[in-house]
Amino acid sequence: MASHHRSAAMGRAELSRTVRQATLNHARLLYHRLPHILAVTLLVAAAQLVPSSSSSSLAGAAALRDWARAHAGLAAAACAGVAAAACAYAASRPRPVYLVDLSGYKPGPAHEATRAQSIRHFAVAGRFTDESIAFQTRMLERAGVGEATHFPASLLTVPVDMSLRAAREESEAVVFGAVDDLLARTGARARDIGVVIVNSSLFSPTPSFTALVVNRYGLRHDVVTHNLSGMGCSAGIIAIDLAKHLLQVHPDTYALVVSTENITLNAYLGNHRPMLVTNTLFRMGGAAVLLSNRRADRRRAKYQLVHTVRTHRGASGRSYGCVTQEEDGEGNVGVSLSKELMSVAGEALRTNITTLGPLVLPLSEQLRFLGAVLLRRALRADVKPYVPDFKLALEHFCIHAGGRGVLDELERSLGLSAWHMEPSRMTLHRFGNTSSSSLWYELAYCEAKGRIRKGDRVWQIAFGSGFKCNSAVWKALRTVDDAGETNPWAAEVDRLPVHVPKVTPIVLDDDDQAPRNKEDDGGHGSSA
């Protein structure tokens, strides 16, 4: 009985939170419609004060003059009120945030490794047992990762070089490569960049990444910088949300956002299974994005930021502990993934779309969703949770390429088609899990395929440790067909998509190259 009461109380609390959140979201929409409501109200009030028409035109004119003299003060007050309301709204209305352009880093051919080469290298370079090698082989066969993903030079040598110097070299190659290309594409000048945000979850050097960027590009002394670490694969959307807020208070400026992860210091060399999965998924990569709040940039920008929604489930111990960096029993550092990861991700996604839904979905879908919640929570009806059809509101979906299991589950739960999932699946296949930057490779894929049309809306969804689910919605300001040579997909976009079987066996043969020595590496690659 006590358990039943606790369950009922939890249900009521959840219902209350859902209703409060829906009310808040609709209140936000009402606020943005305030000028229209106010204008209509004032017009109606003014109409009530105007005298009715007279049968005589002369009498009507005299009556109008009398009315004007009698109500001159009221009319002036009404005009002043309208002007004050308009000024207050204009001052409080958020500044538009434009995405001018983006750049995804593509390492050079010297960094590519087939799956078979990866497994052979793990066996030679690590201290893995036969069981651990077999487990990683099985995981890689099912991961959806292709034959040309990228590793830093430090991990393609024997022995592996997991030093701070090698880690810096990897990060500098990625960050500088992406930013160099972005500045060349946009023509942005260093002195016009007022905000710099860099996110790298597992590597946070001193001086920081933002200081590295300021030093490299000679940015001005009053530039606002933020360095984000420890926030997992969803940190890219967090960086966008932070940039959005900063661009509200720093007028007429650019915000440079760089998303990356460092692989050199985060390869796992032990035999604890929950930590071995990351070896088969995470790869070298990064991206840079230029945002602007300058109205003049609307003409050349690709997208306008419409919404950001951040969900943090860290108050739950189960959510907090499902992705953790820790040491195993032998002192090897790695990232441990809990078996409950998929369940936790599903809970975070449901919370996130409950907030996002009222902002983007048509009213019919909102009512269906709310009705299902009321039936299940209030009336205890045995009905399935209603998942809104986001395809009615959004044309493109960029879902973090964290792994095949995550993509399969979101395709099923959101009712998406293979076409909608193609950018995420091809990113996982070609580049692997590049952490927070994967969303930008996916958007670059849509651009290279010529899929983005003016007015289209793009939903970016990312998951990260903590546990977090974050969303960003963008609206295309123009048709984007970007298959130029600096697009990371330019060299192979015509050959994609390819079919990726659920299980792709790895065959080791004599054609697999042996691990390279350091001096054989041809450099850190070039930007694309």
429 noted as active-site residue? yes
433 noted as active-site residue? yes
Considering 121, 150, 307, 429, which one is annotated as catalytic? 429
Q: What tokens were used for 316? A: 């739950």
Sign of CA dihedral 358, 363, 366, 371: positive
Contact by Cβ (8 Å): 201, 230: yes
Q: How far apart are CA 337 and CA 274, in angstroms?
A: 5
Amino acid sitting at position 496: L
Measured in degrees and rounded to the nearest 5, phi and psi for residue 282 equal -80, 135
Considering 400, 420, 446, 469, which one is annotated as catalytic? 400
Q: What tokens were used for 486? A: 């600096």
400 noted as active-site residue? yes
What's the residue count for the chain?
528
In three-state secondary structure terms, 245 is helix
Question: Which residue in 210, 398, 400 sits closest to 288, CA to CA?
Answer: 210
Tally the C-alpha atoms within 13 A of residue 29's C-alpha that lie toward its C-beta: 13
Considering 111, 121, 307, 312, which one is annotated as catalytic? 312
Radius of gyration of the chain (CA): 27
Q: What tokens were used for 122? A: 């793990």
Q: What share of the chain is helix, strand, coil (3-state, %, to 5)?
A: 50, 15, 35
Amino acid sitting at position 348: A
Quickly count: other Cβ atoms within 10 Å of residue 92's Cβ: 9
Angstrom CA distances, 51 to 37, 47, 56, 67, 227, stand at: 24, 8, 13, 7, 64
307 noted as active-site residue? no
Considering 266, 293, 433, 470, which one is annotated as catalytic? 433
Question: Which residue in 267, 104, 242 sits closest to 175, CA to CA?
Answer: 104
Considering 396, 446, 487, 524, which one is annotated as catalytic? 396
Q: Which residues pair with 256 in a beta bridge?
A: 196, 290
Residue 455 DSSP code = T
87 noted as active-site residue? no
41: CB partners within 8 A, 6+ apart? none
Considering 121, 150, 233, 469, which one is annotated as catalytic? 233
233 noted as active-site residue? yes
Q: Which residues are catalytic?
A: 233, 312, 396, 400, 429, 433
